[in-house]
Structure 1
């Protein structure tokens, strides 16, 4: 089934109170304007973080600055019944995953909330799931864990996402994960950029950063062991910047469509 909703993946943006005027912070402010053109749409922010106060301060500041005033926080933890929040999820148009990727999955696995989110994502044209910072990494079916991958929430299963990406230290880890899951693309997403995914495969870039795409679909010869260098033949990749569009199934750039993002959801989903 082709999803009718959107996914938005936002790269690492861990600005503190001394960094609010930085280009990275201002870029997220720009991206937040693409969430909805209706300022009273319901937002829910899901987090498993123990630093709830800082999470609330961060989102309140950004969303209020952009004029969004109808939002609240869902703090999930092991001793809480997530089913208590289903009525709020039913009303939501935008749902954020804010932090702590594997911990979030462990709590939401097989929950009523996760089933409802999947249903809304598949069937509602004006519904959006947003992953920000490390929370974006749990959106996929596979999560990087430092030594391989764990199971994610599975809203999308054709890519592995790294929003803490640094080509000096994280590239090898992302490549190893992709070589173990060659059906997926690796997406190394830096700060200051977001990826908007529609129909489950059409990904559009917006922002001032870059995205490294790793494609191992054609790799036949590969070799890697713990502590050894990687060897992979026919490994492909792209560097994406604002305006680029990527087919997440094939790993190829979409060249025949000019980037012109539209918040008219019905019109947007009829465009091929």
Structure 2
């Protein structure tokens, strides 16, 4: 996008602490653990309308129950759920609800399903208008919902011991941010290799590897702040040296020299346009 968006993006790595149970060890050891912190970033006011898009999920009813409990615990009072499927792409009811929302939140599941549906929908164009023009609008996604937000999305990839040629499938995403490729559950599921492969193939893109219960809040289209208890890894292949990525044969391993890595934790910032990193300060 050539203009600076007025709205915000919230990219979440998954497992955004929807439930307190099972986090006792994290609570004891990690000073950055604050229950519900990520979900509290969805809206500026607890009365602001949040629409949760559950299209990516194979179990939308279960997802709705989980988020209802989490939102009510936070104190959100104005939220709803939309399960947009092929035959409902242009219904006035859904368009009106999306148009009136302060936050659109894409839940996780299968990025293939959600990408295909939204690419065909008038909803994408409405959301882009809101993102560009509305200062208090937030477009959020978790897991698969976050992966689809940039220009390029990882649809399939292997997590093997080596990066192998032809073991990754990329496609066009929704295009809300142009110079990034997002991967989620990044640390827990060992996805460094597949995101590295994606940026080696697209050297003008940042690879954003989002840990669980961790998010990047992106303002002004490029100012990204890490939030949450985990890490965001940023991979950059812009100054890559030797690599066989353009000549390697199918099934053979890819190598690369000078792939750069940054690690962000809570309140670290990076300007994705200028590449300027600002570490967090702790008193």
TM tier relative to shorter chain: 0.7 to 0.9
| Closer/same/farther in 2, CA of residues 243 and 192 from structure 1, 3 Å limit | same
| Residue 65 of structure 2 is aligned to residue 63 of structure 1 | no
1:233 counterpart SS class: coil
Pairwise CA distance, 1:17: 6.9
1:176 counterpart SS class: helix
Pairwise CA distance, 1:110: 3.9
Return the match for 1:51 from 37, 46, 59: 59
Partner of 1:42: 49
Q: Which stretch shifts more, 57-66 or 81-90? A: 81-90
Structure 1, unmatched stretches of 5+, are 260-272
Determine if contact 2:6/2:220 at 8 Å carries over to the other structure.
yes
Determine if contact 1:5/1:124 at 8 Å carries over to the other structure.
yes
Distance in structure 1 (CA, Å) of the matches to 2:91 and 2:128: 15
| Residue 107 of structure 2 is aligned to residue 105 of structure 1 | no
Return the match for 1:233 from 257, 262, 279: 257
State the Cα deviation string for residues 2-36 of structure 1 (Å, max 9, x = none): 00000011112187879465549x75611222233
Paired residues in the alignment total: 257
Distance in structure 2 (CA, Å) of the matches to 1:11 and 1:168: 11
Structure 1 segments, 4+ long, off by >6 Å, are: 14-18
Partner of 1:4: 6
| Residue 190 of structure 2 is aligned to residue 169 of structure 1 | yes
Distance in structure 2 (CA, Å) of the matches to 1:14 and 1:46: 16
Distance in structure 2 (CA, Å) of the matches to 1:15 and 1:249: 30
Partner of 2:169: 148
Determine if contact 2:20/2:35 at 8 Å carries over to the other structure.
no
TM alignment of 1:157-236, pairs within 5 A: 157-166=178-187, 169-224=190-245, 225=248, 226-236=250-260
2:174 counterpart SS class: coil
Pairwise CA distance, 1:90: 1.3
| Residue 80 of structure 2 is aligned to residue 72 of structure 1 | yes
Partner of 1:31: 38
Determine if contact 1:102/1:143 at 8 Å carries over to the other structure.
no
Distance in structure 2 (CA, Å) of the matches to 1:43 and 1:111: 19
